[in-house]
A and B are shown apart, each in its own frame.
Chain A
């Protein structure tokens, strides 16, 4: 079983639509959850982090966490062509300095 699993995509949505990205993780000791965006050939760029069950909103982005189901998701509202990238889900054990474990990423394309 993969430690962090994401729907591999590619995911294609029209401009203005909601994009939904999903991630499951196997380590029940995971405490902190991160979404990074990675453009082709570039480094991961932090979008959001979430620690507590429920929803967390930041602008057009909403992260959702359900620790009982070991599930975390990212919703992107009003998707723009500039959102086209690979989205990486990452988890760690919630202590400073602990490793991030990444999923393989979901490639998102937003069509104008």
Chain B
């Protein structure tokens, strides 16, 4: 069964550093998403992406964040200058319609 994959599974970085989180969506899906979940809190939407552009973004997705589909398979989330409060689990999801399937997540720890 096709799955969304994400790398790395864990990332530790220093405050102010740039990080890139990578995702390979399910191959025939056209819609891609990033969510985050701070420890003990709910899953929060960051951004959705379709046809090589952002279709929707939340208030969390400020200028420090960017997304890209650099090739036909990868979908990336870049955080330009990490802050302590960016520490969270980041989930990539993809869909062919409304139903979204989540990857295993990347646990980001900012020190």
Q: For the complex, is A45 an interface residue (Cβ under 8 Å from B)?
A: yes
Chain A contact residues: over half helix, strand or loop, or mixed?
loop
Chain A: minimal CB distance from B92 (Å):
9
Task: Pull 23 A–B residue pairs with CB atoms less than 8 Å apart, ordered by A.
Answer: A32-B98, A34-B100, A43-B89, A43-B103, A43-B104, A44-B43, A44-B91, A44-B102, A46-B102, A49-B98, A95-B98, A96-B98, A97-B48, A97-B50, A97-B55, A97-B95, A98-B56, A99-B33, A99-B56, A100-B33, A100-B43, A101-B45, A102-B43
Q: For the complex, is B28 an interface residue (Cβ under 8 Å from A)?
A: no
Chain B neighbourhood of A32, CB < 8 A: 98
Q: How many B residues face the partner with a CB closer than 8 A?
A: 27
B interface footprint on A73-110 (CB within 8 Å = 1, 0 otherwise): 00000000000000010101011111111111100000
